[in-house]
Amino acid sequence: MGTTDDTLSSGSFNLILHAARQRGADSLVLCKTVGVDPAVLQNPDARVPIRLVQALWHEAIRVTGEPDLPLQLGELINPLSLGVLAYVMMHCPTLGQAIEKLCHYQDIACEGVQTVGQLAGQRFSILLKLTSNAIVYPEYTLSSEFSVYQSAFRALTGRMVAAEEIRFGFPEPENRSAYERVFGPAKLVFGADETRLILDAVWLETPILNANPGLFPLFEQHAEELLQKLRQPDLSFRVKQEIVALMNGEEPTLGLVADRLAMGVRTLQLHLKETGVTYQQLLDDVRRNLAIQHLREPNFSTTDIAYLLGFSEPSVFYRTFKKWTGSTPGAYRQQTVSSRLA
């Protein structure tokens, strides 16, 4: 299955499919090849693991024979069709405020890339930081992000917004001329310490065309709800629910639980850490409670319970249960029966 990490919105995944289709690829075949159910992509709030998005980039470029496809993304799709994040940006009064919302709600579109805005004098930078270890083709991710951002800024303002300089945190590619075509007249620097797009700060004051202040709160509320779903405060409870649902004779892995929560592994670990628990602690809590529940019933042998709870061997269950309670499963069951008879 590869590394399970952060996720991308189904809308963003669909944009890549749309671009590949315009270059002759069959989107259904691409989905089948990378292991994504097309039905999932019909839900605008669904999430796709970034490892599958990376596989999609690789396969789409192979099938189309277009190594520049990530660079072309902003030209081949409607950059304002990115779902609720685009709607929030469309109804901000200025480009600067739209970029501020882009940075705040970035995780809705893609958890694996952090977007940070920085103002220094008369220059404004948009810094991209890769946060997912599932991103194995950083040049595809970073170049497509800036391609879409540039197109979105132009569509939002009706102006030819252009960077003064763009620094890429990967080596100079063979297709440098394609970068010059897409991002010209910006100065391009490859092999930089970080990936950064630098604008004249004057652009931040550019009004957004057709912004409707009355619609802004509606879309921002939806965006905030989606963001909170990714950072659910009662996450421990939801994780335990998923562990119980998956407890069918095999130990539920962190990756599988993260997938069911539409969340990346590292994101889930981070949010659990913020609440003061680890996945292993939650798994142990669920197993202990289920073990005690099953031992109070006469229908399951201790061997049956061990396998039901996903332990590889009954002996491992016996040792673990004694560590939890101070008693072996058999002794605990006998104590329970004795207390009932008394």
Strand 187-190 and strand 165-168: pairing? Answer: parallel
CA 176 to chain centre: 29
Query: Which CATH superfamily includes the segment(s) 232-341?
Result: Homeodomain-like (1.10.10.60)
Q: Would you list the domain boundaries of the chain?
A: 7-228, 232-341
pLDDT score of 316: 92
pLDDT score of 81: 79
Place of tokens 């694996």: 112
pLDDT score of 3: 35
Say which residues have a Cβ less than 8 Å from residue 332's Cβ, sequence separation at least 6: 292, 295, 321, 325
pLDDT score of 161: 97
Helix (H) or strand (E) holding 268: helix 265-274
* Cα distance between residue 111 and residue 128, in whole Å: 12
What DSSP designation does 293 have? H
What DSSP line would sit under 28-92, residue for residue? HHHHHHHT--TTGGGSTT-EEEHHHHHHHHHHHHHHHT-TTHHHHHHHHS-TT-STHHHHHHHTS
pLDDT tens over the chain, length 342 residues: 333 457 888 889 999 999 999 999 999 999 999 988 888 888 777 788 898 999 999 999 999 999 999 999 999 988 887 788 999 999 999 999 999 999 999 998 888 899 999 999 999 999 999 988 889 999 999 999 999 999 999 999 999 999 999 999 999 999 999 999 999 999 999 999 999 999 999 999 999 999 999 999 989 998 988 887 777 546 887 788 788 878 877 889 999 998 888 788 888 998 888 888 999 999 998 898 888 888 877 777 889 898 888 888 899 999 999 999 898 998 888 887 665 555
* Cα distance between residue 20 and residue 97, in whole Å: 32
Say which residues have a Cβ less than 8 Å from residue 43's Cβ, sequence separation at least 6: 10
- Would you state the CATH architecture of domain 7-228? Alpha-Beta Complex (3.90)
